[in-house]
Each structure stands twice: as structure tokens, then as C-alpha cells.
Structure 1
């Protein structure tokens, strides 16, 4: 069974419908599938986006962490998430549900329902998704254990905090989606014996044994991981932590801190009355903005606004309208600084 659900490209059996007198079977199945689809749509809303965020973070930081053994656990988590994308369970359930009768009015009426091979394929897919989610949660636990060790030593603290939050969300999403698979599997597995089965083709080998039940994870079972993480690093420490200063750099007594008003240097706009003065101002500010935007005089001016002001100034100079160029640029700067 392990090899069967773990296959990437599981061959879909042909969807063949056979007559059956058990009309309640179709009603129970459609109710269970519709309930799963509704809950899955709600709980799976942010899961792909969070998984994509982890992939981008890992790709961006792989050079910073490539020599660290623990980073492999994050790579394994990313691989497990990629594996889950290759199993399109909602599509398989929709395909199976489409072969069920739309409406049944009487219990003893003869209806056409999919054969057992198609139903077995759905069961195998549910087991596969369940165990992939289990693998994701195991990788989340290993990855967080590695990240918390680096956070204690203040190594890339901001980046690791973001990793921590992302992996925690993935763990929670996987926990809920795994329970949905377990609920649907446990609900529809007893109906397997009522599915008609004819033909030579067998989807499941004769020695295959399907699990009798999939464990439904309670709120206090695998969520103990969060309690362990809270014990390792309390949430208050993560949110309010400040990097520690090495002992050789600590100062013994610095006295009482006193707030002092910082003197703000004001620029004399009258210096921008000539073309040469403006050109010198632009050259100095371009250099200052490149080195440190916060220390430049034009720090409140956005990059596109600064570039647009220079462009208009140069355009007026090319048109030999120096007076208008100076006037426009001077008014723009005086309104910003």
C-alpha cells in the first residue's frame, strides 16, 4: 500500500458506471463529497500562498544557510509541499462526483454509479494526501527546531522570525487539511462493499490492504508541537526580543539618558536661483541619496518624484527656457524640504 499511494503518476482507472439498486449509496457519497469540498475550499484558501512564500524565502536565503546542516530540513519541507501540489485531490473528487446521479427520489430505484475501481482510486488518493500532510508536519517540526537554535544566538534574527511564522502557519494548515482527509476517508470507506465490480481490470492488487481508519488528530495531540515551541522560545520573546550585546562591547555605566532636541539643518532655497546652483544641488543630492537616503536633504521626496523633477529641469534647459526651469525646480524643492 505504501508504494501505491506514494507514486507520483498514479494511473487513473477508466470511469465506468454500473447499475445498482442501492440509491442511498449515491446520496451519502454526494453529501460527504460536497461537505468536504466546502470545508476544503475554506481551509485551503491561504495554504498555497504560504507554501509559495516559504519557497521564495528558501531560494533567497539558500546562500546564507547553505553550509548549515539544519537548512536541509527546510528543503525537505519545500519538497513535501511540492509533492502535495502534484496530487490534485479536488479534481479527482470532482471527476468521481460527476459520475454520480444528480438526484434520487426513491430508495429502490436503479441508478448508475461508478464501479469499485474508481472508488478505490479515490480512497488511495485520500490516503496519499493524508500521509503527505503527515510528512509536512514532521518536516515543520524539524525545521522549527533548527530555526529556534539560530534565533537563540541572534543569527539572522529577523529572517528566522519570518521563517518561524511561515512554518507555523503551514503546520496549522496541514493539521486541518489532514483531518478533513481522515474524516472523509473514515466516512466513505464502509461504502466500498456496496460498489458494483465487474471486469478483468483490477486497480488495486489482490494483496493490497487499505487502512481500516485514518487517525483524526485532536486539538491536543500534534498541537503539542506548539507547546514545545512555546517552552523553547516564548512568544513574548519572539515579538519583543532585542539582540544581545557581547560582553566585551557592553558598557558598565552610561549614566541617565537625557533626551535632547536634534538640530535640524535648514537649506537656503535662495541658493537655487541659478542654473549652476541647481546643477550642484542635484549632483550633491544624488550622491547623498545613493549613500544614505535618510541623511539627505531630499529624503521626503520619492525616487520617481526626484527623477521627474530632474527630467523637467533638463527638458526646460534644452528648450532654452532657463528662467522657467529655475522657477519650477525651486518651487518644487521648497514645497518638499
Structure 2
């Protein structure tokens, strides 16, 4: 297995060596500038991390509904690649190297890290570039799938949302891959500046680092979004046709309500004409006769009579215990069966205020005064007026 493909590759021990700056100032400053630029760039990728987080949330939200859909499986593959990119903490590696490099002002003698640390960073950049190539390819396949779904009008809103997210991930991944290639090509010649401590890392075979990162990586990340010819493709895609032309070109697109209605009516007319050919002519003529002269008499619906509340249950209240039982039963009726409640016209806030007040006054007032006040306060809630 290649070194860049090992997920648990152990980093080397960081050792610093003294280096005289005479005749090497430009090389040292170039190394510091390159590492600093790479660190600032990777620290500013919050928008890409946000897009990856949205993709993870979408997969969790619609996992049960679209589990067996091919396009959704592509999204899960894309999410897995993004998780592996997150596991390669390139910012931490650059921060560790940056902490050992001198500032813009150079003394006669400065301390630089050993060569193995830089080689470990370059190997991790190789693995990161391969992962971003994987992300670009999978995002392109998933986008092609959801483009076909949008053209047929199926799950239009979800497909559009997934397509926008895939486009953002694809675009930013290409930019990141390009910048990785740029930083890699700048850092490879600087290996001669650093001292090799003589320890064999990571193996006796040594480290194989290509001089040109773009040639080693391949053409997957440089290819544009082109449609591929497919025999079972319902859109009959032409080779070398821009993928995004599918939404605006001459191909039949059901992305609007009007086109969907036209397609449905076209199918309905075709079906009706097929049925009409199988109907005898006499029955067809009877079917086409107008029946506008018929009048259908319908009984008007009688409005439901509103039943008056039964106040007799309130007149039977003689003690505080009766009032408390009545109030508990009223709360139960309002919660489970509102039409049975005597205070069904009262708002919840008004009834709660009444219940709180009665509960507070039950221990302060005498039985006669409490029952009288209970009935007077309850009457407006029952009849809806004061």
C-alpha cells in the first residue's frame, strides 16, 4: 500500500537543527511564506465545512425515505469521503511546522525542522488530493442523477436542494485541489534546505514524492461537467453536451407547473381517445348528449342548533368540596372532550386564571362566601359575557 493511502500513518519525531542563514535567506523566507500561505488558506475554508455539515444533516434527515435510491447512496459515499478529509487535520500539521520556522526577521543562525516532518506533510497532501478527486467525481455523478430527476419533475424541491449543495461542494473541491497542487509544487524543492537526521522514516524504501503533483494526481479534478451518452437515459443526452444545458435547452423539461399540467392533459387525452375507439357509436352519441336541462333538487343543510349550557349542575354546588370536584371535572372535560365542558366558550387563559383564583381563595374564605363567589365568577365563563 502506498504511503499516501495509509489512514493511520505515524508522524515522525519533530527535531530542529541549526542552520546558517548565509546564502540561504531567500530559501528560508520562501519556505516560511509558503507554509504561512497554506495555513491561512486552509483555515479560511469555513464555507466548505458548512456545506459538508449541511450534506451530513440532509442524509440524516432523509435517510429512511430514500435509503435504496441510487442518488442517495452517492450522497452517502460523498459524505464518507468528506469525513475522511476531516480526519486529515492539515491545519494542525501546518501549525506545528509553522511553530518551528523563524519569523520574517532572520538572525545569522536559525532553527529549522528536520526533513522527515516536511515529507510527512507532503505525503498527507497527496492523500488529501486523492480524497478531493474522489469527492469531485462522486459529486459529479450525483449531480447528473439529480438533474435527471429534476427534468422529470420527481421530488423537484429536494432534488434542486441537493443539486445546489453538490454544485457548491464540487466547485470548492476543485479550488482546494488546485491550491494543494500549488503548495505541493512549492514545498517539494525545499526538501534540500532541511537536514535529514539519518533515521529511516517511514521505511527502508524511502519516500516517493513526485515532482509535479498535477501529473501524478491525474485528470479527474480538471475535467469539466459534461454529459455522458447513456442508452437507458430518458433524456437522450448527446456526447460533449454541457450538463447545465439540460435545464434550459430543447430537451423536454417538466420543472414548471405549466409543463407538468400539459404533460398530464396530453396523457389523459391519449387515454380517452383510446377508450372512445372501443365504445360503440350509438353509446358514444348518447354519452356526448348534453344534460344541461336536468335540475337536481337538494335539501338545504339546516344549521346545527347550539345547545344551551346546563346551569343546574352549578346550582347543586353547596360546599367547597363540591366546587373543587366540579372544577377538576371541568378541567378534564376541557382537555379530553371540550363539547362536554360547561365553560367551553371561555378561553384557556381565562379559565386558568379562574381556576387559580378559586384554588387560592378556598382556604381564606368561609364556605358560604366561597360558593357564592364561585358561582358568580363561573357565570361569565359559561355564558360568554359578564
Normalising by structure 2, what TM-score? Answer: 0.62
List gaps (5 residues or longer) in structure 2.
Answer: 228-240, 273-305, 312-330, 340-345, 358-373
- CA change 1:114–1:160 in 2 (3 A) is same
For 1:316, the equivalent position in structure 2 comes to: 353
- CA change 1:210–1:234 in 2 (3 A) is farther
Q: Tell me whether 1:62 sits opposite 2:63 in the alignment.
A: yes
**Shift, 1:70, TM fit:** 3.6
Distance in structure 1 (CA, Å) of the matches to 2:2 and 2:382: 77
Q: 1:25 aligns with which of 24, 27, 37?
A: 27
Contact 1:275 1:326 in 2 (8 A): no
Q: 1:36 aligns with which of 35, 38, 41?
A: 38
**Shift, 1:205, TM fit:** 4.6
Distance in structure 1 (CA, Å) of the matches to 2:167 and 2:70: 21
Q: How many pairs does the alignment contain?
A: 278
Distance in structure 1 (CA, Å) of the matches to 2:140 and 2:187: 31
For 2:74, the equivalent position in structure 1 comes to: 73
For 2:181, the equivalent position in structure 1 comes to: 182
- CA change 1:133–1:159 in 2 (3 A) is same
SS class of match (2:138): helix
- CA change 1:29–1:71 in 2 (3 A) is same
Distance in structure 2 (CA, Å) of the matches to 1:323 and 1:30: 85
For 1:119, the equivalent position in structure 2 comes to: 118
Contact 2:43 2:91 in 1 (8 A): no
Bigger Rg, which one: 2
Q: Tell me whether 1:244 sits opposite 2:246 in the alignment.
A: no
Distance in structure 2 (CA, Å) of the matches to 1:105 and 1:275: 97
Contact 2:140 2:225 in 1 (8 A): no
**Shift, 1:74, TM fit:** 1.5
Distance in structure 1 (CA, Å) of the matches to 2:120 and 2:352: 69
Q: Tell me whether 1:230 sits opposite 2:230 in the alignment.
A: no
- CA change 1:250–1:125 in 2 (3 A) is farther
SS class of match (1:215): helix
- CA change 1:326–1:121 in 2 (3 A) is farther
SS class of match (1:113): strand
**Shift, 1:190, TM fit:** 0.7
SS class of match (1:18): strand
**Shift, 1:111, TM fit:** 1.7
List gaps (5 residues or longer) in structure 1.
Answer: 253-270, 288-308, 331-337
Distance in structure 2 (CA, Å) of the matches to 1:54 and 1:134: 18
For 2:154, the equivalent position in structure 1 comes to: 155
1:190-229 equivalences under 5 Å are 190-203=189-202, 205-215=204-214, 221-225=222-226, 228-229=242-243
Contact 1:19 1:112 in 2 (8 A): yes
- CA change 1:239–1:149 in 2 (3 A) is closer
- CA change 1:235–1:211 in 2 (3 A) is farther
**Shift, 1:154, TM fit:** 1.7
- CA change 1:136–1:326 in 2 (3 A) is farther
1:253-332 equivalences under 5 Å are 310-318=347-355, 319=357, 320=374, 321-322=377-378
